[in-house]
Amino acid sequence: MQEIAPVAPDAQDVVVAAYRYQSGQPAQALDIHHLPAHNPLKDGFIWIGLKDPSEATLRELRSRLESTPALLERGSDFVASELLDLIVDQYQTCLEQTEKAVEAIEQQFLIRGFKENDVRRIYRLRRDLLRVYNAVTPLAELSRRLSRIELAYVDAESRAYFGEVADRIARTSEFINSLRQALAFAFEGGLMIGGEMGLEQQLQNQVPDLMDDDLFGEDPALQHWQSKLASDEARQSLADYGKKLGSAHWREQGALANRQPPQWRGWSAQGQRVDQVDFHPSWHHLMSLGMEQGLHIWPHQPQPGQHLQRAMGFYLHGQIEAGTLCPLTMTRAAAPLLQAEPFQEWAAKLDINQYDSSHQSMAEKSSVLLGMGMTEMQGGSDLRGCTTEAHPEAQAFRLYGHKWFFSVPQADGHLVLAREHEQFSCFLMPRYTEYGLNRRYIRRLKDKLGNRSNASAEIDFDGALAWRVGQAGRGIALLAGMAARTRIDCVLGSAALMRQALVQSLHYCQHRRCFGKQLIDQPLMQAVLLDMSLESEAATHLALFLVDLQELADDPVAQAVLRVLAPAAKFWVCRRAIALCAEAMETWGGNGYIEDGPMPRLLREAPVNSIWEGSGNVMCLDVQRALSQEGVLEALQADLRARTGDDAELGQAAQDLLSTVSQAGGRVWTQKLALLYQACLMRHVAPDAVADMFATHRLQEGPAAVFGLEGVEQASCEELARVDKQEPRPQWLDLRPFTLPGVRALDKHTLRIEVKGKYPQFKYWLAMTFTAPMAWEAERFYSQPRMAQHNLTLDSWPVGTGPFMLTESLTNRRHVLSRNPNYRGEPYPCVGEPGDQEAGLLEDCGKPMPFLDKVVFSLEKESVPLMGKFLQGYYDIPQERGLQLRTAPEAQLFYMGFNWHDPVVGQGDTPEQFEKNRKLRLAISIVFDWEQYVSIFMNDQGEAAHSPLPPGVPGYQPLPQGANPYVYTKDNGVVKRRSLDEARDLLRQAGYPDGRDSRTGKPLILYYDSMMGMGSDATVDWMRRQLAQDKMKRGAAQLFLWGWVADYPDAENFFTLLYGPQAKKDFGGENAANYQSAEFDRLYEQMRFLNDGPDKQAVVQQMIHLVQHDAPWMFGYVPNAGGAYQSWVRNAKPSMMVRDSIQYYRIDPEQRVERIDRWNGPVWWPAIPLGLLALILVWVVRSQAQARRRHVALRKEKD
C-alpha cells in the first residue's frame, strides 16, 4: 500500500490533498488535518511539491498517475517522470498556440508587408520564446542525467521514462528555435514586400540584378573575331560558355569566391606542418569550369584559331571572376618550358581538362597546375637582385632563400628563379615530393586590395627539392618568355573587366530613372557611356589582335610587332581599366559604392593587371628594349604602313609617331603606340562613324582626363544601340509590302488561311494567346522607342483585341477591363457538356457576347475582409484558395520523369539492361503513392494520373478502363495500387536487392526521395535550385518532378513531351526525359495528322500502352480547378481550357440588389427574444417589488 500526498510549498508547505492508494488505484481520501508530520522520506508516502498549483494542474496530474496504476506502484521515480512530462506538455500547449500566431504573422506579412506594431509583436514573441527556451533546456540535462547515470536512489527501470522526457524536451527546444527562425524569416519577408512603413515606396526605381545575359553573343567585338575561329564547333563552344557564365548561378559563384578569401592552414590538428590553403567551394567550381574549357592549355601544335578560341574563353571567364585566371594563365605560360626531358610526365598532366584540388604529389594527381616565383623582398622587378640559392644534390637541387610574391601557393609546382654558381637559372619546384610536403614554407598570405579570391604568399625555402629547367644561366630569359605570355593575358583580363563594367553601367542606366527620364536617355550620361563603350571595344580588339599575332608564330614581322606591342598594350589597357571601372562605379551613384553590387569588386580588381608581370615603367622599358633589337623597328614601320593604308589621318599619326622613335620607352610614346593600333583596328572593324569618333577623341585630341564625349548626342544613340545587345532598340517587322501566299483577309475580322498538307491541330494554334494573329497596328504601337522601358508591353498593358480592353492598370492594386467597342461579338454556345443544360448554363444560347460592360479586379491584402465583402455581395467572384463550390479536372498533368540517358534509371546499353532499368522505374512508380499525396497535400482536389493524357483530352480513358496495368491492379472493377512486396520484387529483378547493387554491393543512388517505401538503402541526393535548373536545361537531371499545362485539347500536345526529336539534351526540346522509342515516334507522326475519330483513338491507345510499358515517366496527378461564385453570377463554370471565359459571364442585377439589400438590411428577429426577455425582467422586478411591499405591510400590522 502506498499513500500519495500532493503538497504546495511556498513560505510554509501547505498540504492541499492526500489519498490512500491500493494497487495503484485511489482507495480512500485522507483527512489532511490528521496526517503525520511532514516527512518526505517516510515509508509509504510520496510527497509531490508544486509551486502555486492550480486545480486544473492537480486534476491533470492525478489523472495521469491514476491512468497507469501498474506504473504508479513503482513509486516516486515514476511519479517524478510523469511530473516532468506534464511540465513539458504544458510548454508544448503554449508553443502550439505560439505556432498559430507565427503562421498568422507570416500570412499577414506576405499579403500586406508589416506595420510598426508588427515589429514590436515579433520582438516580444522572439523574446518570450527565448525565455521559454531558457526554462526548458535545463530540464533536458536533468532528465538526461537521471536516465543515464546510475544513482542509488533512482529506480533502474524508471530511467527509460526519464530518457523519453529528455527526448521530448530536446524536440521542444528544436521547435522553439524553428519558431524563432520563422519569425526572423517573416520579418525579412515583410521587409521585402514593404507596407505602411514606406518600404514599398523605397523599393521603387530600384535596378534588378543583371543575370542570364549572353556574354558572347552580346559583345560586338567578339562577333567580329569569331570569324577567325577554326570551326563552327569552336564558335558554339564559346557561345555556350558565354551563356553559362552570364547566368545568375555563375555570377553568384564569382561573388562568393571573393567574399570568402582563401585561408592559410599551417599545421594539422596533430601538429604536423601541412601548409595548405583552403578555398571557398566556389573557387573550386570556377577552376573546374575554366579547366573544362581548356583555359590552362598551351597547344603544342596549334591549329588556326586555337589560341584565339582560348583567349576569347579567357576573356569571357574574366568578366565573371578574375582571381581564378591567375593559376590558369601561369600554367599555360609555363607549359612550353616543360616539354623536354625529364618533365614529360608533368607536361602530360598539364594538358588534362580536369581539375584536381587534392593535396598530393604530382604522380598521384590526375592533373596539375603551375605557379611562378621570381620577385624577392629586396629586388622587386629587378630580378638580378635575386638571393635565393640552388645547391646541387645528385640529379636535383636544393633551394634556400625566400620569395616575397609567390603566386598560387597551392599549385602543384612552381618555376622559381635562383642563383646557381653566380648565374641565374630556372627551377621546377614541386609542392609535394614522394616523401610528403616539400621544404617550402608559407610565412603568410598577402592581404590584397583586390584579386581576393586568389592566394598570394610570402614563402621560405629551406632545402626545397627542385630540378633545373633549361640550361644553367638561362633562368631570367626563360622566365621572361613565360612573363611575355602572361602579359597578353593581363591585357585580356583588363579588357574583360572593362567590358563587364560597361555592361553593368548600361544595365543600370536602362532601369534607373533620374530627373524624369531613364538615365540612359540623359545627354550627359549618353556621352559618358559612349566614351566608355569606345574604350572597352578598342581594348578588346587590341587584346585579341595580340593573340592573333601570337598565332603567326612563323611570321617574323608579326612576332617582332608582338614583342613591342604587347608591353605597350599592357601599359595602356591595364591602366585605362582602372579609370573606366571608377567611372562605371559613378554611373551607379551611391549604389555603386556598396559591396552588395559588383562595382567595388571590379574596381578593386582593375589595378592588379597593371602591376602584375611588370608595372607601367617596366613596360615602357620593355618597349624601348624591343625596339632596340634588330629588325623590330623596320617590322613595326612595315606593319603600320599596311594597316593605315590610304587613311590620311591614321597615316599621319603613324608618321608622327615613328618620327619620334628616339623617345620610345617614354610613357607618352608608349601610350600613343597603343592608341594608334587601337585606331587602326577600329577603322577595320567598327562602323565608320564610330571609327571616326575614336580617331578624333583619342588620336587628335588625346584621351581626356575624364570620360564623356561632347557634341555627339546624335551618334551616341546609334552607338549605344550597337554595343548594348541586352535590350536592343525595338524595331517592328512590317510585312505589309509582302504577300503571304495562302493567307487572305476577307474583312477586318476574318482571315482565310490555306494549309498545305494536313494538320488538324492548326486551328488550336490560331486560338492560343501566344500564337494568335495580331494586328500590325498593335505591333507597331508597342515597338515605339522607350515603350518597354516604361513597362508598356503586350504583357504589362495589352491593347485588347478581344471582348474586353484594359482601361486601368495599377500593379498589385486594381485592373479594369471595359467592353471593347471594336469587338465583333460572338454568340453564346448552344451545345455544352453533360449536365450543363440541367445547371442552366445554356439558357443564353445564341445571345451575343460579352454580357458585361466592365470587369474590375482588385487585390485584398487580408483574407478576412475579402471573405466578409464576398458574403456581403461586394465581390461576385473571389479568387480565394480553398473555397471551391464548383470543381472540374484541369487539363494539366504533373509527372516524375526518368532521364533516358541515365545509366541507372534510363534506357540502358543492352536489351537486358533496358529490361532491368524498366523494372526499377516501375518499382519506383509503385512505391510513390500519388493518391495519398493528393489526399494530404491537395485536400483531395485532384486525382492520380495513369497515362500521359489528362481528362478532357481526346484519348483519355477514365477508370477502370484507363488504369495503368503495370502499377495498378483491378479487383472487381476497383483499381488498386500494386503492393510494396511487388515493388521489392521488381527492385530485386532490376539488380538491386534491398536497394544495393548486386554486382558491387554499393547503395542505389537516386536524386529524389522515391525509395523510402521499399525499405531500401537507397541514398537520396537533393540538388540546389540553380544546379537543378542547369541540369534540366542540359537534360542531365536523373529524376525530376515536372508539369505540363495543355495549350490545346489534343493528344499531340502531351505526346510531344515524349517525342524523340523533342529531346531536351539533343535538340533542346520539351522532352525533358529524353525518351527515345522508334515505335513511339512512328505512332506520333501518324497520329498527329489524323482527324479525331476511331482511327486516331486506336493509335492514341497504342501510344499510351507503350509509354505505360516503357515507364519513362512516373505518372503523378491531375489537379482540380474550382471557384466560388455568387448566386447572381450566371454561366460561371470552372473550365479545363480557359480562354476568354469572362465574356460568358452574366450578372442578374435584380437578384444582386435584392440579395445585398437582404443581407445588409436590418435584422428584426433578435428583437422578439429581446422583447420577451425584457417583459420577463419587468415581471420579475414588479413581482419582487410587490412582495417587498406585502412584507413591509405585514410587519407593520404585527407591530
Q: Note the pLDDT tens digit of each residue in 216-228.
A: 999 999 999 998 8
CB 951 within 8 A of CB 1136: yes
**In the numeric block, which cell numbers belong to residue 540?**
578588346
Is residue 1158 domain-resident? no
The CATH code of the domain that includes 1071 is 3.10.105.10
- What's the pLDDT band for 1096 if we cut at 50, 70, 90? very high
Least confident of 1045-1049, 1050-1054, 1155-1159: 1155-1159
Is residue 762 domain-resident? no
User: What pLDDT score does 424 carry?
Assistant: 95
- What's the pLDDT band for 459 if we cut at 50, 70, 90? very high
Least confident of 142-156, 217-231, 258-272, 900-914: 142-156
CB 338 within 8 A of CB 346: yes
CB 399 within 8 A of CB 418: yes
pLDDT digits (tens, 9 = 90+) for 1127-1181: 778 888 776 665 678 888 888 888 877 777 776 667 677 778 888 888 888 888 8
pLDDT digits (tens, 9 = 90+) for 967-1006: 999 988 899 999 988 988 998 898 888 777 777 667 666 6
End-to-end CA distance of the chain: 67
Mean pLDDT of 755-774: 80
Is residue 897 domain-resident? yes
Query: Which DSSP symbol is given to 209?
Result: P
Instruction: Report the domain count for the chain.
Output: 6
Boundary residue ending a domain (883, 915, 938):
883
Task: Pick from 56-65, 834-843, 1024-1033 the range whose average pLDDT is largest.
Answer: 834-843
Mean pLDDT of 255-259: 94
Shared domain for 191 and 255, answered yes or no, is: no
Mean pLDDT of 734-754: 76
Shared domain for 392 and 455, answered yes or no, is: yes
Is residue 15 domain-resident? no
Q: Could you give the CA distance from residue 210 to residue 499 in angstroms, rounded to a whole number? A: 14
Q: Look at 1165 and 378; give whichever has higher pLDDT.
A: 378
Shared domain for 641 and 785, answered yes or no, is: no
Q: Give the position of cell 491541330.
A: 761
Structural domain including 1190 reads 1168-1198
Is residue 209 domain-resident? no
**In the numeric block, which cell numbers belong to residue 768?**
492560343
Shared domain for 904 and 1006, answered yes or no, is: yes
Task: Pick from 112-121, 341-350, 881-890 the range whose average pLDDT is largest.
Answer: 341-350
CB 1007 within 8 A of CB 1023: yes
Task: Pick from 582-591, 657-666, 696-705 the range whose average pLDDT is largest.
Answer: 582-591
DSSP per position, 267-310: E-TTS-EEEEEE--HHHHHHHHHHHHTTTTPPPSSPPTTHHHHH
Alpha helices in 612-647 (DSSP H): 616-627, 632-644
pLDDT digits (tens, 9 = 90+) for 616-663: 999 999 999 999 999 999 999 999 999 998 889 999 999 999 999 888
Is residue 32 domain-resident? no
User: What pLDDT score does 791 carry?
Assistant: 62
Half-sphere exposure of residue 1167: CA atoms within 13 angstroms, side-chain side: 3
The CATH code of the domain that includes 184 is 1.20.58.340
Boundary residue ending a domain (202, 229, 257):
202
Say yes or no to pLDDT of 196 above 50: no
Boundary residue ending a domain (1102, 1123, 1144):
1123
% of the chain surpassing 90 pLDDT? 40
Say yes or no to pLDDT of 720 above 60: no
Shared domain for 444 and 500, answered yes or no, is: no
pLDDT digits (tens, 9 = 90+) for 478-522: 998 898 999 999 999 999 999 999 999 999 998 888 888 889 888
pLDDT digits (tens, 9 = 90+) for 405-438: 999 999 999 999 999 988 999 999 999 999 999 9
Least confident of 107-116, 295-304, 760-769: 107-116
Please give the model's pTM, rounded to 2 decimal places.
Answer: 0.52
**In the numeric block, which cell numbers belong to residue 474?**
638561362
370 in helix, strand or coil?
A: strand
Shared domain for 163 and 104, answered yes or no, is: yes
Is residue 382 domain-resident? yes
Shared domain for 182 and 303, answered yes or no, is: no
User: What pLDDT score does 1122 carry?
Assistant: 66
Which amino acid is present at 110?
Answer: L
Mean pLDDT of 64-79: 68
Residues in the chain: 1199
Shared domain for 88 and 167, answered yes or no, is: yes
User: What pLDDT score does 287 carry?
Assistant: 97
The CATH code of the domain that includes 500 is 1.20.140.10
- What's the pLDDT band for 42 if we cut at 50, 70, 90? very low
Q: Name the residue among 664, 705, 419 with its Cα closest to residue 576.
A: 705
Q: What is the chain's mean pLDDT, rounded?
A: 82
Shared domain for 678 and 659, answered yes or no, is: yes
Is residue 1154 domain-resident? no
Q: Could you give the CA distance from residue 864 to residue 870 in angstroms, rounded to a whole number? A: 10
Shared domain for 979 and 1059, answered yes or no, is: yes
Shared domain for 986 and 927, answered yes or no, is: yes
Say yes or no to pLDDT of 454 above 60: yes
Q: Could you give the CA distance from residue 163 to residue 917 in angstroms, rounded to a whole number? A: 45
Say yes or no to pLDDT of 367 above 70: yes
- What's the pLDDT band for 938 if we cut at 50, 70, 90? confident
> If residue 750 lies in a helix (H) or strand (E), which one and from where to where?
strand 750-753
Beta strand pairing call for 2-8 and 826-827: unpaired
Shared domain for 64 and 193, answered yes or no, is: yes
Mean pLDDT of 768-776: 76
CB 372 within 8 A of CB 327: no
